[in-house]
Amino acid sequence: MIDPPHGFGRDELAILGRLKTPEKIQSFLDSEIGYNKELQGATCRSPRRVLRDRLAQCMEGALFGAAALRVHGFPPLLLDLEAVRDDDHVLAIFRQRGHWGAIAKSNYSGLRFREPVYRTLRELAISYFEHYYNLAGEKTLRNYSRPVNLRRFDPLGWMTAEDDVWEIPEYLTRISHTVLLGPDLTRRLNRVDARLQAAGKLGGVN
């Protein structure tokens, strides 16, 4: 069942209405939305602007994923992955048959979709660990947030706003995060090998 339009126009709803499953949303993000290579933090487009500009980085892709999920009756939930010496990564998360999955936009192939097979949010978050590394080859994922329901930002009109919706990423940086890896584990981490680094860049935008 399609949720109320939340300010989207007929043409926008026609596109979103065809993205009936999380898999179709991810496929649309991968094939129809280019990766936004602007300086990190330069934009925070609403889902309407993502559709119009056909560009998104991680935060913008997560917002689009959450909006598309909402159109089809899922709660619009985001999860923030926190890293050291690296950028955070934001997921649009969903639950099916009691298990968590995720939709994401990334220039790295291993940081995108997750099937809904994870029993807990920790399981989902840790599934990104081996693929989450910086240019120096360090494995950088450390913490994850609680789910954030974007209904709290409905007064901003986050789904269709023409202005950047900075309030959302700012909120994600302020809330508490759960530790995935403590110092006793991080001290013994190996660097990412060259093959995994090469695989992660497959299909990326240079």
pLDDT tens per residue across span 51-106: 999 999 999 999 999 999 999 999 999 999 999 999 999 999 999 999 999 999 99
Neighbours of 178 (CB within 10 A): 12
C-alpha triplet 112, 99, 172: angle, nearest 5°: 55
Mean per-residue pLDDT for 13-26?
A: 97
* Rounded Cα gap, residues 125 and 32, in angstroms: 26
The SS3 assignment for 96 reads strand
Mean per-residue pLDDT for 117-132?
A: 97
Secondary structure E strands in 19-173 = 34-35, 55-56, 77-83, 89-96, 99-103, 114-118, 141-145, 148-149
Rg (CA), the chain: 16
The matching CATH number, chosen from 3.10.420, 3.40.50, 3.30.200, 3.10.620, for 10-200 is: 3.10.620
Give this prediction's pTM: 0.94
Ordered by start, the domain boundaries in the chain are: 10-200
